[in-house]
């Protein structure tokens, strides 16, 4: 069996790490054949590190020619890539789940597609319980995220509002609202909110709170799920990723776990 031709959208730190994982773990099942990357130095770095020579392509050409697509470029590319891949009945794994909320053209395409949309759990646990609770009848899904100030600086939300004054280690709530608005205003910080929305009540009904403090060191996510089957509460204290300090290390490891699930013959869990 010939290995699947993989198209990689985005050669940043996450994209390169995923490519390395595939090359190491599944060399007979998949190979990076095409790449979409606007910064030549990043593509050169990937080719040098893995000793490969993928064809540089634009997004649509990459999708047309690939058997399996991996999006690791950011929210601005996720929705377009997913919609086009599903239109052509392809398989695509989307890392930037927030882009699936801001650009929902893929919702129309997936209804008639023979393709597959894969979304890693990211920096969240308990998705199996949420999916089961959704079948039972969901009543409420709430995410409380706690991050250090430096992880929130630069968010679009603070282009319109002043960053709060922090006194000592006292926690300050900087946002409360729907996941839909949170993904728009904090696109680099609340991928968890997007994943929960896709698995549960949707972006409008999923509630989000974001807190910060000088005393916070890592990323903490507290998830509250209420359904007719009972109540689920999950708390994660995540270490920031060495690849991107604005996200959690668990986000990358969940991508590895999903790829292992896709390319291996073992299926464990919901």
Options 38, 89, 108, 221, the catalytic residue:
221
Residue 137, domain member (yes or no):
yes
**Tens of pLDDT, residues 129-168:** 999 999 999 999 999 999 999 888 888 899 888 998 898 8
Q: Which long-range contacts (CB under 8 A, 24 or more apart) does 117-120 make?
A: 117/82, 117/85, 117/86, 117/92, 118/91, 118/92, 118/93, 118/94, 118/258, 118/262, 119/93, 119/94, 119/195, 119/198, 120/93, 120/95, 120/195, 120/251, 120/254, 120/255, 120/257, 120/258
The CATH number of the domain where 25 resides is what?
3.40.50.720
* Full residue range of the structural domain in which residue 44 is found: 4-119
Task: Give the pLDDT confidence score for residue 135 in this predicted structure.
Answer: 95
Q: Is the pLDDT of residue 74 over 90?
A: no
Residue 261, domain member (yes or no):
no
Q: Is the pLDDT of residue 270 over 70?
A: no
Local confidence band at 172 (pLDDT 50, 70, 90 cut-offs): very high
| 53 belongs to the catalytic site | no
Task: Give the pLDDT confidence score for residue 190 in this predicted structure.
Answer: 79
**Tens of pLDDT, residues 188-239:** 777 899 999 999 999 999 999 999 999 998 889 999 999 999 999 999 988 8
Question: How many separate domains does the chain show?
Answer: 2
Residues 110 and 154 in one domain: no
Task: Give the pLDDT confidence score for residue 204 in this predicted structure.
Answer: 95
Residue 14, domain member (yes or no):
yes
Task: Give the pLDDT confidence score for residue 246 in this predicted structure.
Answer: 66
Bigger pLDDT: 269 vs 209: 209
């Amino acid at each position: 069996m010939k290995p699947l031709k993989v198209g990689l959208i985005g050669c940043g730190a996450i994209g390169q790490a995923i490519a390395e994982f595939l090359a190491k773990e599944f060399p007979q099942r998949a190979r990076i054949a095409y790449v979409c990357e606007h910064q030549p130095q990043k593509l050169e770095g990937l080719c040098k590190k893995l000793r490969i020579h993928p064809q540089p392509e634009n997004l649509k050409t990459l999708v047309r020619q690939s058997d399996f697509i991996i999006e690791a470029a950011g929210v601005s590319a996720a929705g377009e890539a997913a919609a086009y891949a599903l239109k052509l009945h392809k398989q695509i794994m989307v890392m930037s789940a927030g882009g699936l909320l801001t650009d929902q053209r893929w919702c129309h395409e997936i209804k008639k597609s023979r393709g597959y949309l894969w979304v890693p759990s990211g920096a969240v646990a308990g998705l199996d319980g949420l999916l089961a609770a959704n079948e039972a009848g969901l009543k409420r899904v709430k995410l409380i995220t706690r991050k250090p100030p430096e992880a929130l600086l630069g968010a679009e939300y603070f282009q319109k509002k002043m960053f709060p004054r922090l006194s000592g280690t006292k926690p300050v709530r900087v946002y409360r609202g729907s996941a839909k608005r949170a993904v728009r205003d904090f696109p680099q910080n609340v991928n968890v909110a997007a994943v929960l929305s896709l698995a549960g009540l949707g972006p409008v009904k999923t509630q989000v709170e974001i807190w910060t403090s000088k005393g916070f060191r890592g990323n903490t996510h507290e998830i509250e799920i209420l359904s007719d089957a009972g109540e689920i509460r999950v708390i994660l204290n995540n270490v920031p990723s060495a690849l991107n300090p604005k996200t959690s290390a668990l986000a990358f490891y969940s991508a590895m776990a999903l790829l292992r699930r896709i390319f291996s013959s073992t299926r464990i869990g919901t």
